[in-house]
Every structure is written in C-alpha cells, then in structure tokens.
Amino acid sequence: MTITVILRKKEFKFEETKDLTVRKVFKKLDILPETYLCVREGELITEQELLRDGDVIRFVPVISGG
C-alpha cells in the first residue's frame, strides 16, 4: 500500500507508510510547513496527523503573489 501526496499538479508516492506524519512528508519533500496546508478527504489536517495506508492527501499552497 502507499500514501499519495498531491502537490501543485504533481503526485508523490510513499511506500514506507509506517508512522508517517504530515510533518515527515513535509521534510521528505523539503518544503517548509509554513507554506502549505494539508487536506485529506476535504478536511484540514495538522502536521502531527498520522497518515494511513491508502491515504490521498493534497498540499494546498498558502503563499500568494500579492
């Protein structure tokens, strides 16, 4: 099983899903937690949230151009 992360029209798959949190995914993708929110099944989830096998999560950018 895998966890899928959608980030700006790109998809990232994670096979090692044990103890995977949103925070750890941010780290793996080398992005600052200040710059994205994480949405799972239409709900906002926090950095501490533990991800589950088969999860599809979306990172929503928060920086706007001004």
The correct pick among 35, 50, 52, 53 for binding other proteins (CB under 8 A) is 35
Through-space distance between the first and last CA atoms of the chain, rounded to whole angstroms: 40
CB of 40 to other proteins, least distance (A): 12
Taking the C-alpha atoms of residue 37 and residue 16, their distance in angstroms, rounded to an integer, is 22
Q: Which of residues 42-61 bind other proteins (CB under 8 A)?
A: 44, 46, 60-61
How far does CA 51 lie from the centroid of its chain?
A: 9
Tokens 């090692």 locate to: 16
Q: Counting contacts by CB under 8 A, is residue 41 touching other proteins?
A: no
List interacting residues with other proteins (CB under 8 A). 32-35, 37, 39, 44, 46, 60-66
